[in-house]
Amino acid sequence: MLEDMRVRNLSEGTQYQYVLRVAKFAQHFGKSPEWLGPEDVRTYQVYLKEHQHVSWGVLNVTVCALRFLYRITLHKDWAVEHIPFSRRPRKLPVVLSREEVTRFFQSIPNFKHRVLLATAFATGLRTSEVAHLRVSDIDSQRRVIRVYQGKGSKDRYVMLSPKLLELLRAYWKAARPTHWLFPGRCPERPISRDAVSAACCKASRASGLTKAVTVRALRHSFATHLLEAGADVRTIQLLLGHRSLETTGRYTHVSVKSVCATASPFDSLALTADAPKPDLPSTPNGR
């Protein structure tokens, strides 16, 4: 299975997740997946959903892993037909206002973490993409940042704003990174995704915001703010690295410019905002 995934150039992260999900599937039944069939797969899906209460993402990765194993590696004809995907719940993304974004960044005392998360917001990068940025990816002359082998093993360019460039230069003078822009504890390796998420979670708590701020929320806010500023959906799609325009189109559902484009019919009613006067207790003489 590993060889099949390498030949098809699946990312290291995808390979790790597929092997992990297949291993858990085998452990659940205590036997090799080669001796298991479609009914076992169905039983395992029910177990994950009703007993483990796993997220849609875990269910989806499990289905993808088992489909790959049985269809590609084991050449089972029933693989695709008998391993259904779970329907993805439709949820609106968390979006921060400009004031909330400012408050969030002001609550980060660690300069490296502040620059890292500011880079994530200013470019709309995913967690793994911002963690794997290299110093050489910053093109100050052309004002772009190269995203090397992002999701789907695709390269792309994102904007490098003048304010972010100024911040990155100050960071470079202070930290002097050589290869990885944001190195981990070991300078030869980039900062881990868990470390990025932990830094974001800590800043979210310190900011006191009611919204849960994650790197994904910063990415959603980046896209929504662009849309509200007049950028077209196709441009936002290219910046975010979305394969489908439909995925990018969901930001129209949270954009204030789109949602508030039409006045509510409630505004046309002849109602006032005056609070009713409290009833006074009656006196014995009726006054």
Helices (H), the chain: 2-7, 12-29, 38-47, 56-68, 79-82, 98-106, 111-123, 127-131, 162-175, 193-207, 215-228, 233-240, 245-249, 256-259
The reported pLDDT for the residue numbered 267 is 59
Other C-beta atoms closer than 10 Å to the C-beta of 42 total: 13
- The burial class, CB within 10 Å (0-12 / 13-18 / 19+), for 177 is middle
Separation between Cα atoms, residue 28 and residue 278, nearest integer Å: 66
pLDDT tens string, the chain, 287 residues long: the values are: 999 999 998 888 889 999 999 999 999 999 999 999 999 999 999 999 898 988 888 898 999 999 999 999 999 988 777 777 766 666 777 889 999 999 999 999 999 999 999 999 999 898 999 999 999 999 999 999 999 877 767 788 888 999 999 999 999 999 999 999 999 988 899 999 999 999 999 999 999 999 989 999 998 898 888 888 887 778 878 888 876 656 665 665 555 555 554 555 655 566 556 666 666 566 566 55
* Residue 134, helix vs strand vs coil: strand
Domains contained in the chain, CATH given: 2-82 (1.10.150.130), 98-259 (1.10.443.10)
| Cα→Cα distances 278→143, 185, 271, 282, 287, Å | 63, 65, 19, 12, 16
Separation between Cα atoms, residue 229 and residue 41, nearest integer Å: 47
- The burial class, CB within 10 Å (0-12 / 13-18 / 19+), for 280 is exposed
Q: Whole-structure pTM over 0.85, yes or no?
A: no
